[in-house]
Amino acid sequence: MKEVYAIEMLGITKKFGNILANDHIDIRLKKGHILALCGENGAGKSTIMSILFGLIEPDEGVIKKEGKVVHITNPNDATRLNIGMVHQHFKLVDTFTVLQNIILGDETLKEFNDNPNFFKKTFNYLNKHLFKIVDYKKAREEVNKIINQYDLQVDLDQKIEDISVETQQKVEIIKMLYRQNDILIFDEPTAVLTEQEIQDFLQILRNLKKEGKSIIFISHKLNEVFDVSDEITVIRKGQYIDTLKTSETTKEDISALMVGRKVNGFAIKTQIQPEEEVLRVEHLTMLDPISKKKVVNDISFNVRKGEIVTLAGIDGNGQQEVIYGITGIKKIQSGNITLGGKDISTLSIREKIKSGISHIPEDRHKHGLVLDYSIYENSVLDRYYENQFSKYLFLNDKSIKQYGDALIEKYDVRSSGDGHTIVRGLSGGNQQKIIIGREIERNQDLLIAVQPTRGLDIGAIEGIHNLLLKQRENKKAILLVSLELDQVLALSDRILLMYEGEIVGEFLPQEVSKEKLGLYMSGAKKDKVNAIKENKHE
Amino acid sequence: MIVVLSTFSFLLAYISILTISAFGGMFSEKSGTLALSLEGSMTFGAFAAGVAMHLLPATLPDALSALIVILIALISAGLFSLLLALACVTFKANQTLVGTALNILSTAIAVVLIKHITRTETLPVGNSRLNFTRFYEIFNVDMFGIQGVKFNWLILIVLVLVPIVYLLIYKTQYGLRLSACGENPSSADSLGINVNRTRYTGIVLSGLFAGLGGLLLITMNAEWEFANGANGFGYLALAVLIFGQWKPLYIFLGAFIFSIFKTLSVVYPSIDILANLGISSYFYLALPYVVCLVVLIFTSKKNAGPKTLGEPYDKGKIS
Amino acid sequence: MNKIKMFFSSLLKKDATKTVITSLWCALIGLILGFIILLFINAKEAAYGMTSVLGNYLIFSNPQDRLNYFGQTLAKTAPLIAMSLSILVSYKAGLFNLGASGQYSIAVIVISFLGIGLNWPWWIVMILAMISASAFAMISGALKAYFNVNEVISGIMLNWIALYLTNGILSNSTNVWDSAHSETYTISNSSNAYIPSIGLDKVFAGNSIVGLGMVLILIVVAVIFILFKKTTIGYELKATGLNGDAADYAGINKIKNIFIATGISGALAGLAAVLSLQNGFTAWRLGSTPPDIGFQGISSAFLGGLHPIGVIFSSYFIVHITEGGSMITDLGFSPEVASIMTSVIIYLSGFVVFVKEVMHKHEIKNELNKLTREKEEEV
């Protein structure tokens, strides 16, 4: 008997330049099933889904809907075929209301058809073809029906900018249901949710499935994948690997397929006894500039020489703000920050950098580099004013060049030319090497690294881990922000878990399990902690 | 009495010019393109209409002539604004740069061609001033039957357009989609809305409105000096647009406030109390811009304008 | 190593060549459009008209006349260079100085009072004019720095405020205002405020408007060139312009830079007024629109590829055709044909950024291809 597929994507190939993003990928989604699409960052998951949704056109391959070949060249085609997608970054208009967002692009128009009155008839005709007045009342009724059917409670009159991320996701789901989509694509839907919200979301998926929707669910979190999916398709580096029935496989097997080899640990950490304190943060509180909500709420911790302290937790729980506060990018509301015994709470960014902070920011394109500057120019971005590189306002090109060449050599920065090459043309890994090299070479007591391996391939990640561990051996104090638990467990000496602006737990990596961390990350457990560790011999 | 009435007639005319032109700017900016070339579009519409008024034979019936002139003003300014759309939407050019270029271009074209048209045997290069007394008579009627107090009936068109524009922006599919293209084009795109096409329509609408504004501006008088372009009304309309926070009713209100100053600068010598104050007309002229700056100070922190104003939409960026 | 160096220097040259070539294309298309308009107006005389526009002083047969008008063109180029630099400095720092006309107007007030009214020495007048224009420009800067007001919009508003201010003040000051001509008195070459000729007038057939101003502007060009090429200030300004956030993270003080950029930019706009008025070839006319030179500066800054040396040539070119344009009135053409040409050129230079970006992307793609190929070979 032949299986009925809601969607088949066969032999899909897409090249960007010379890079094969998708190489003959097959995806088969059974009707009324949930298919999980798994793979690491950069495996090509988003590309293949963008192809299905018509945002990207494939170079090769066919797409079939219920056995019939279809052509999808833009989102309109996808919508016509009842394919809907929730993007990783929501496609919502912040200043519009929920209702406006739901109907945008597929508005319900006013109709006066039943009325035999000649004028109203004419008006109706004109409205249909010219004015196109939106019937918000009727649209609201339709949307309310969906809300009740699927139990997706939202306030239709609130503006998107005023509602939570979880509610925004509900809006995205209602958007698809309003368009009567029966094939639903979710691109990393749980990345922005807390543990409890994830459970609610998975329940929504089950409800959708019950109503006969077919779902593709992109994720690399295996717990939820095993919780909700019927089949799992694994892709790796643009290649199709395998499709397995969820009930007939294990998490270990899938994770092995995803990375292509057995996952083993990271670089080996040596035993180091932390020495004197470098950074001390006491009772730090920070407010959101607009909502005045406490995004960092009375936290205290310290970092000592020779240890890596990690701020862990789900994205958006205040880790980033703590770093902004320490580095001076955002103002702190109250509390004290001392560096090497000196109070630096209210210094400017430049003064803080000078007093001994190296900072590897999360977003290298936006914050770490001037993309249209050369490697040389970027290599002195936060120290060009030092005597070594300039005198009386004049840059010393020769010493900058020398320094840049040494950096290129030492950190193996690869480009098509020499140090005059504009960094925009470099690969992500090489760009990151410039930043990390620049910050490490400044040889400061405190090194702050925010998600230093984001979006890099495995080889590059290992290199960066080794560099960080080497700094630890060199007796630097390192403050790391990471969202990936494997990384957190492999690198940290102490793990500080942040939830809603507070440090809710302090752990030693050898004494804690991922499951336990997960409980704290989702806010299911909290202990208010003061994470300042004093050295006994001091 | 005459003074009061003529003050009123100036006020009404200025409100209409600024409202209609700022509405034009609103269509362009709501869709995401800076309306810096409003002055240029007004000038171009006025110029084309001016040439038509100069060339149309007097034998043509008045009503037909007026209709032709109005259509020419609209169409020419609409076409002119296509230059903005081409550069800024299709070629993603710097909008400030292109806007500036178009403002210079339209005045230059107007001056060159009008000097060409107005030249005579004795005057090999004409002047950049056009006289259209006949059309001044056609477009203006005596207000309340009082001689010397004129009412330009194009104002009626503007007044009718105010509620229509309001409905268009807030109640129709087009209005919703237009703002979506300026606020979050990638959302609009993902919902199958053609962002660039919508931006084109917004820009062309802005041209049409500005063209009408330009025509109204010059037909308030019996002649016009085209070397001065639209006499800065395009820039003032831009100020009104910002003052009005890109909302039709606030724009109308802003046009009203700004027109008071503009009117004062014209009529103050004939109002004894004001004339005795001895304040220079330049003060009244400068005041709207000062007010606009103050408004900007209070509103810019919040960034009330369309989110992607001034940024071309790049479809290739997938986030 | 040497090979890499050579390869790179050739690449640099290529980029410079690219800029020059695209600018030349813009200029050419602008000229062709201008010619079409001339053809439309008077087909018989169009060719001769175009020759006059392009030839400017070259159409004179008398070498003395040629030299005289050449000098005049050069002297009128100086203020435009200053204006282009004003646009350039702000643009490099990520700002668009659309308020240059207003800054020019403020300098005009100072020059009129101190130069025409009080007959102060030229250099004091010059310095004070530049300082006041600079201060006026910093209003836009302050609004941007502290209230996030878009500098383009505030610049436009300030242009009009400055225009009415200048008109209002000057037309009511009898000692500087020539009410018969509705303009200020011109600064004559016997005045203290006149920029001295330092003998250059003799080189240009006695044309006294050529003088120290020419030398001054070349020095200013060199200063701006060095500022961006060699100094930490230029490094900071450019970093802020290219990526304000990254500059912020690196501890570069954004607010300070906004003030530096608008300050320098305004001083240069003021210098443009100095070089026009204190050379005696312009006076402030009672106009109803902000002075054109602020917008012309935008044309020549972009046509010059936003490079300090480039703007010397682009400014000269624009003045050359504008001056040439003023010579074709006898043929029945209006001189504004030249401004049609220049505005078409700026319009097209908007496309240049796009074209260059496309070329750039293409290069990156090639580079990436090369890199992946190398990687594959390694494997």
* CATH code of A492's domain: 3.40.50.300
Asked whether residue A315 is domain-assigned, the answer is: yes
Model confidence pLDDT, tens digit, residues B228-274: 999 999 999 999 998 899 999 999 999 999 999 888 888 887 777 77
Across-strand partners of A447?
A358, A478
- pLDDT reported for residue A261: 55
- C52 vs C14: which has the higher pLDDT: C52
Q: Residue B210's pLDDT band (boundaries 50, 70, 90)?
A: very high
Model confidence pLDDT, tens digit, residues B77-127: 999 999 999 999 998 888 999 999 999 999 999 999 998 888 877 777 778
Rg (CA), chain B: 20
* Contact of C303 with C23, CB cutoff 8 Å: yes
CA distances (Å), origin C123, targets A82, B94, C117, C120, C211: 75, 38, 15, 8, 14
Nearest CA in chain A to B317: A55
pLDDT at A69 over 70: yes
Surface-to-core class of residue B50, CB atoms within 10 Å of its CB (0-12 exposed, 13-18 middle, 19+ buried): buried
Contacts C289 to B, Cβ<8 Å:
228-229, 231-232
* Subunit contact B289:C353, Cβ cutoff 8 A: no
pLDDT at C77 over 80: yes
pLDDT at C175 over 80: yes
Q: Are residues A452 and A528 in the same domain?
A: yes
Q: Does C299 touch chain B (CB under 8 A)?
A: yes
CA gap B109, B47 in Å, rounded:
9
Q: Does A106 touch chain B (CB under 8 A)?
A: yes
* Subunit contact C231:A397, Cβ cutoff 8 A: no
Asked whether residue A287 is domain-assigned, the answer is: yes
pLDDT at A529 over 60: yes
Across-strand partners of A286?
A296
pTM of this prediction?
0.87
- C361 vs C120: which has the higher pLDDT: C120
- Chains with 3+ CB–CB pairs under 8 A to B are A, C
DSSP output for C308-332: TTHHHHHHHHHHHHHHHHTT-GGGT
- pLDDT reported for residue A1: 47
- Please provide the average confidence, as pLDDT, over all residues in chain A: 86
| Helix H or strand E encompassing A284 | strand A277-287
CA gap A211, A214 in Å, rounded:
9
Dihedral sign of CA atoms A403, A404, A408, A409 in order: negative
Looking at the partner chain, which of C149, C150, C347 has a beta carbon nearest the beta carbon of B105?
A: C347
Q: Are residues A459 and A519 in the same domain?
A: yes
CA gap A80, C116 in Å, rounded:
74
Nearest CA in chain A to C245: A367
Segment C250-279 shows an average pLDDT of 95
Query: Of the given ranges (A20-24, B161-165, C203-207), which has the lowest mean pLDDT?
Result: C203-207
- A455 vs A238: which has the higher pLDDT: A238
Q: Does A275 touch chain C (CB under 8 A)?
A: no
Taking one residue from A and the other from B, the number of pairs with CB-CB distance under 8 angstroms is 73
Q: Are residues A538 and A487 in the same domain?
A: yes
* Contact of B89 with B169, CB cutoff 8 Å: no
b/e burial code for range C310-322 (CB count within 10 A of at least 16 → b): bbbbbbbbbbbbb
Model confidence pLDDT, tens digit, residues C146-168: 998 989 989 999 999 999 999 99
Q: Name which of C148, C249, C369, C371 to mutate to probe chain A: the one with the most chain A Cβ atoms within 10 A of its Cβ.
A: C249
Q: Are residues A74 and A194 in the same domain?
A: yes
Query: CA of C195 to nearest chain B CA: how many angstroms apart?
Result: 31
CA gap A153, A171 in Å, rounded:
9
Percent of chain C beyond pLDDT 70? 89
- Phi/psi for C308 (5° steps) reads -55, -40
CA gap A60, A67 in Å, rounded:
18
Tokens 């053809």 correspond to: C39
Segment A4-29 shows an average pLDDT of 86
Q: What domain range includes position A19? A: 5-82+182-259
pLDDT at B317 over 50: no
Segment C215-241 shows an average pLDDT of 95
Q: What is the largest CA-CA distance in chain B?
A: 66
Asked whether residue A64 is domain-assigned, the answer is: yes
CATH number belonging to domain C23-38+45-361: 1.10.3470
Q: Name which of C235, C237, C253, C364 to mutate to probe chain A: the one with the most chain A Cβ atoms within 10 A of its Cβ.
A: C235
Q: Are residues A331 and A395 in the same domain?
A: no
CA gap C227, C258 in Å, rounded:
16
Q: Would you identify the CATH topology of the domain B2-299?
A: ABC transporter involved in vitamin B12 uptake, BtuC (1.10.3470)
C89, C120, C76, C77: which is closest to C267 by C-alpha? C89
CA gap C360, C11 in Å, rounded:
12
Q: Does A470 touch chain B (CB under 8 A)?
A: no
Q: Residue C326's pLDDT band (boundaries 50, 70, 90)?
A: confident
Contacts B192 to A, Cβ<8 Å:
74-76, 79, 105
Tokens 């609408």 correspond to: B205
- pLDDT reported for residue A42: 66
Q: Does C223 touch chain A (CB under 8 A)?
A: no
Looking at the partner chain, which of B92, B229, B300 has a beta carbon nearest the beta carbon of C354?
A: B92
Contacts B108 to C, Cβ<8 Å:
336-337, 339-340, 343
Domain boundaries, chain B: 2-299
- pLDDT reported for residue B318: 38
pLDDT at C109 over 90: yes
Which segment, A360-364, A482-486, A517-521, is predicted with the most confidence on average? A360-364
CA gap A404, A466 in Å, rounded:
22
Q: Are residues A293 and A421 in the same domain?
A: no
Q: Name which of C285, C340, C345, C364 to mutate to probe chain B: the one with the most chain B Cβ atoms within 10 A of its Cβ.
A: C340
Q: Residue C379's pLDDT band (boundaries 50, 70, 90)?
A: very low
- Residue count (chain A): 538
CA gap A345, A284 in Å, rounded:
10
Residues 6+ apart with CB under 8 A from B281: B265, B266, B268, B269
Q: What is the largest CA-CA distance in chain A?
A: 95
Residue type, A468: L
Asked whether residue A537 is domain-assigned, the answer is: yes
* Subunit contact C367:A395, Cβ cutoff 8 A: no
Model confidence pLDDT, tens digit, residues B172-207: 999 999 999 999 998 998 888 999 999 999 999 999
Model confidence pLDDT, tens digit, residues A447-470: 999 998 877 766 678 888 888 999
pLDDT at B294 over 50: yes
Surface-to-core class of residue A312, CB atoms within 10 Å of its CB (0-12 exposed, 13-18 middle, 19+ buried): buried
Q: Residue C336's pLDDT band (boundaries 50, 70, 90)?
A: confident
Number of domains in chain A: 3
Contacts A360 to C, Cβ<8 Å:
none
Pairing of strands A446-450, A477-481: parallel
Q: What strands, in cross-sheet order, belong to the sheet with A19-30? A: A68-70, A60-65, A5-16, A19-30, A239-245, A231-236, A34-38, A214-218, A183-187, A83-86
Across-strand partners of A503?
A498
Query: CA of A303 to nearest chain B CA: how many angstroms apart?
Result: 35
| Helix H or strand E encompassing A507 | strand A502-507
B115, B94, B91: which is closest to B37 by C-alpha? B94
Q: Are residues A469 and A340 in the same domain?
A: yes
- Please provide the average confidence, as pLDDT, over all residues in chain B: 90
B-contacting residues in C 53-72 (Cβ below 8 Å): none
Q: Residue C11's pLDDT band (boundaries 50, 70, 90)?
A: low
Q: Does B239 touch chain C (CB under 8 A)?
A: yes
Q: Name which of B191, B193, B303 to mutate to probe chain A: the one with the most chain A Cβ atoms within 10 A of its Cβ.
A: B191
